[in-house]
Amino acid sequence: MENKTPAIEIEKLGKVYTRGKEEVTAIQEISLKIPEGKFVSIVGPSGCGKSTFLHIVGGFIPKSSGKVRIRGKEVDKPGPDRGMMFQESALFPWKNVFDNVAWGLEIQGMEKSKRDEVVEHYLKLVNLWDFRKNLPSELSGGMKQRISLARVLAFNPDVLLMDEPFGALDAQTREKMQVELQRIWQESNKSVMFVTHDIDEAVFLSDIVVVFSGRPAVVKEIIEIDFQRPRTLDVHKTQEFMDIRNHIWDLLHQEQGTSDEEGM
């Protein structure tokens, strides 16, 4: 395990914004290794820069310093090696569900017959094959995010990056999606970096939870979670789960003072 190249390796990553004449440090210096096949969540007080961090790993926002490596290869632009799922639906409203999932494959020049096969496979995986001819605007928020997941999985990235993908969903849909995601993730065997502000969600889904401090962000603690998989929602009721959750809660709330000043 130790000798293997990590799926994602972040080395001394820093981010400084210039706001007017002022320089604001969003991310101090973060180093992190995400082993192949693991589900890793990042939690932190709101406004701590965890979402910025993920966007930098995705290559969407430029970093100020440090390095990002995917399976040992340094990256600084977006690419299909990292599949990003956004909080807001990024499905194209002018394409139906099927064509949305096929879009990336077409761009990458996959031939039609192969493409159709892949799209069918992933739409069935997320249980939305019956909705292939619908427009995204005809689907619920939860369905849209499942389609987004299928679209990202379809182009077969090395790692998945997820930025609060269930943030806009109601509590019940959210829990269902977490169980769904666990199932799909176990089938796909991808390494995942998942950003959330929901401690329960992080603990339920993850092998590893990384706790960020408030601005400027540094890694405060890394917590391994080893409940058996597949986990059911009942795991929430165990003492172990609650202990971990309370511990993370305490870590985040030591930060409250600084994060409140920063606002969102």
Q: Which residues bind other proteins (CB under 8 A)?
A: 58-60, 77-80, 82-84, 86, 88-90, 92-95, 103-104, 107-108, 135, 137, 151-152, 155
**Distance of closest approach, residue 107 Cβ to other proteins, in angstroms:** 5
The distance of closest approach from Cβ of residue 87 to other proteins in the complex, given in angstroms and rounded to an integer, is 9
The answer to whether the beta carbons of residues 79 and 57 sit under 8 Å apart is no
Task: Tell me how far, at minimum, the Cβ of 236 lies from other proteins, in Å.
Answer: 31
Q: Which is nearer to other proteins, 19 or 77 (CB)?
A: 77
Residue number with CB closer to other proteins (94 or 257): 94
Q: How far is the CB of 91 from other proteins (least distance, A)?
A: 8
Closest distance to other proteins from the beta carbon of 186 (Å): 23
Cβ-Cβ contacts under 8 Å for 156 (sequence gap 6 or more): 80
Q: How far is the CB of 86 from other proteins (least distance, A)?
A: 5
According to DSSP, residue 94 is labeled: T
> 45 or 58: whose CB is closer to other proteins?
58
What do you get for the CA distance between the two ends of the chain, in Å? 38
| Residues 11/67, Cβ–Cβ less than 8 Å | yes
Distance of CA 187 to the CA centre of its chain: 17
Identity of the residue, 150 or 209, whose beta carbon is nearer to other proteins in the bound complex:
150
What is the C-alpha separation between 58 and 66, in angstroms, rounded?
14
In terms of CB distance, is 103 or 204 closer to other proteins? Answer: 103
* Between 166 and 241, CB nearer to other proteins: 166
Residue 35: closest CA among 2, 57, 67, 58: 2
Q: Are strands 219-224 and 208-212 parallel, antiparallel or unpaired?
A: antiparallel
Contact 113, 150 (CB under 8 A): no
* Cα–Cα distance for residue pair 48/113, rounded to 1 Å: 45
